[in-house]
Amino acid sequence: MKRILFFVLGLIVFVGCGTNEVEDSAYVELVDEIAYVQEEDLGDSVVMSPVDEPSVRGRGPRRGVWDGNVYVSRDLGIWFYMPQGWLAYGDLELLFMSENVNITAADVWAETGDWGAFFDLVALDMDTGVMIFIEYQTLLPNQTEAEFLREMLTMGVDMGYYTSAEMLPYTMRIGFYNWHMMSTEMLVDGEIRHSRYFVHILNGFARMIIISHCNTFDAPVEIIETHFGNLENIPEPSWEPQTSW
For residue range 78-89, what is the model confidence (pLDDT) as tens digits?
999 999 989 999
CA-based end-to-end distance of the chain: 25
225/16: higher pLDDT: 225
Give dist(CA 38, CA 31) in Å, integer: 14
Residue 34 has pLDDT above 60, yes or no: no
**pLDDT value for 188:** 77
Give dist(CA 109, CA 90) in Å, integer: 15
Residue 22 has pLDDT above 50, yes or no: no
Residue range 104-142, pLDDT digits in tens: 544 555 666 667 888 899 999 988 889 999 999 888 878
- What rounded mean pLDDT belongs to the chain? 75
User: What confidence category does residue 204 fall into, taking pLDDT thresholds of 50, 70 and 90?
Assistant: confident
The pLDDT > 70 percentage for the chain reads 69
Q: Give the pTM.
A: 0.79
Nearest Cα neighbor of 193 from 167, 162, 172, 170 is 162
**pLDDT value for 151:** 86
Residue 73 has pLDDT above 70, yes or no: yes
Could you say which of 3.40.1000.10, 1.10.10.60, 3.40.50.1980, 3.40.720.10 is the CATH number of the domain covering 2-233?
Answer: 3.40.1000.10
Q: What angle do CA 150, 156, 161 make, to 5 degrees?
A: 160
Give dist(CA 63, CA 118) in Å, integer: 10
